[in-house]
């Protein structure tokens, strides 16, 4: 799919807040049954739930990207009171299987759920009871509107723009959040998790974000995920001023990753901010 962009006339200079609700890989940390140094760490930043991002916009827009298995706990911890939409990167269990827990946020209005065609198809199959009019409500079921994202989504004052990236041999989405989607402008937040490659033609049209939150699984290469180095180099290629690693496994402590990122910045003459994200981390841009 080819995406093109034109500037939106509104250019509100107000704050966008992002909350890292979960920053762990598919096992989460602590990993069940594991007694490694990271899983038994006393540093709360080493306790990582499955990946999810919460956004509050300048016009009080509120949405999440991905609803993993701990979504209810993450939403309570983040103090979420309302949602306007859900955006999905892909349909793997660690990014989707908390979807039923958006029920309290869909009582007043149905929630649109955006993803690529494959993700929306898998979502409607896996949560078939939600979309089957013959299933009784019982204790309740979320009111969802499955929506294939074929281009930028306008949500209040924000543009939420999908970009295709590779996760091993499947195509998933990264999302860019800003008040405009003009390719020539810079800024906003780019959220890419679980990626192992970004095609060169996509890299050419990706906005140059102020903040990049990107999956970096571990130091060693992996067939379906960026390593720390690959993720950080992608951030440099996008001329990003702040890079935060997410979707992190239990091989590395938060402190270890901070040291790695410091060494990377020195070695590569990177003058921005680079480091690991952690659960509950808040980021803001104007």
At residue 165, the pLDDT reads 98
Q: Which residue has the tokens 């989607």?
A: 181
DSSP state string for 8-19: -S------EEEE
What CA–CA distance (Å, rounded) separates 249 from 246?
9
Per residue in 78-111, pLDDT tens?
Answer: 999 999 999 999 999 999 999 999 999 999 999 9
pLDDT digits 0-9 by tens, 55-73: 999 999 999 999 999 999 9
Provide the H-helix boundaries in the chain: 71-78, 93-96, 117-126, 128-131, 200-205, 228-237, 254-267
Q: Can you tell me whether residue 174 is helix, strand or coil?
A: strand
* Whole-structure pTM value: 0.93
Q: Which tens digit of pLDDT belongs to each residue from 18-68?
A: 999 999 999 999 999 999 999 999 999 999 999 999 999 999 999 999 999
Answer for the pair 52, 33: CB distance below 8 angstroms, yes or no.
no
Q: Is the pLDDT of residue 11 over 80?
A: no
| pLDDT exceeds cutoff 60 at 9 | no
Structure token pair of residue 215: 């999956």
**pLDDT at residue 199, rounded to an integer:** 96
| pLDDT, position 67 | 98
For residues 163 and 142, the answer to whether their CB atoms sit within 8 Å is no
Residues forming beta bridges with residue 48, ordered by sequence position = 29
Write down the mean pLDDT value for the chain.
93
Average pLDDT, integer, range 246-266: 98
Give the model's pLDDT for residue 139: 67
Which residue in 56, 38, 59 sits closest to 47, CA to CA? 38
Local confidence band at 181 (pLDDT 50, 70, 90 cut-offs): low
The confidence band for 8, taking pLDDT boundaries of 50, 70 and 90, is very low
Instruction: Give the C-alpha separation, 110 to 117, whole Å.
Output: 20
Tens of pLDDT, residue by residue over 133-144, are 888 776 689 999
CB 240 within 8 A of CB 210: yes
pLDDT at site 14:
67
Report which of 115, 106, 97, 122 is spatially closest to residue 163, judged by C-alpha positions: 115
User: Is pLDDT at 2 greater than 60 in this prediction?
Assistant: no
Q: Which residues make Cβ contacts (< 8 Å) with residue 121, sequence separation at least 6?
A: none
pLDDT tier for residue 12 given thresholds of 50, 70 and 90: very low
Query: For 16, how many CA atoms within 13 A lie in the half-sphere containing its CB?
Result: 28
**pLDDT > 70: what percent of the chain?**
92
Residue 68: its pLDDT value, please? 97
Tell me the domains of the chain and their CATH numbers: 16-34+47-285 (3.60.15.10)
Confidence grade of residue 209 (pLDDT, cut at 50, 70, 90): very high
């Amino acid at each position: 799919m080819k995406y093109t962009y034109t500037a939106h006339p509104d250019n509100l200079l107000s704050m966008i807040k992002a909350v890292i609700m979960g920053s762990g890989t598919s096992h989460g940390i602590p990993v069940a049954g594991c007694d490694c140094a990271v899983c038994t760490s006393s540093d709360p930043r080493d306790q990582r739930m499955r990946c999810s991002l919460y956004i509050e916009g300048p016009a009080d827009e509120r949405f999440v990207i991905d609803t993993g298995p701990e979504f209810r706990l993450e939403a309570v911890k983040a103090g979420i009171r309302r949602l306007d939409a859900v955006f999905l990167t892909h349909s793997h269990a660690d990014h989707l299987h908390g979807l039923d827990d958006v029920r309290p946020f869909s009582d007043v209005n149905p929630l649109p759920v955006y993803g690529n065609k494959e993700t929306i198809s898998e979502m409607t199959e896996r949560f078939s009871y939600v979309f089957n009019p013959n299933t009784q409500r019982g204790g309740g079921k979320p009111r969802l509107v499955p929506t294939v994202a074929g281009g930028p989504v306008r949500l209040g004052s924000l543009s939420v723009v999908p970009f295709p990236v590779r996760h091993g041999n499947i195509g998933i989405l990264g999302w860019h959040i800003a008040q405009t989607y003009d390719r020539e402008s810079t800024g906003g937040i780019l959220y890419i998790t679980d990626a192992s490659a970004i095609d060169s033609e996509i890299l050419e049209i990706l906005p140059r974000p102020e903040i990049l939150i990107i999956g970096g699984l571990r130091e060693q290469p992996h067939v379906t995920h960026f390593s720390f180095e690959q993720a950080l180099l992608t951030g440099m290629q996008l001329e990003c001023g702040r890079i935060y690693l997410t979707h992190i496994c239990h091989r590395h402590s938060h402190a270890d990753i901070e040291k790695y990122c410091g060494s990377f910045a020195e070695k590569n003459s990177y003058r921005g901010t680079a480091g690991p994200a952690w659960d509950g981390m808040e980021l803001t841009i104007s």
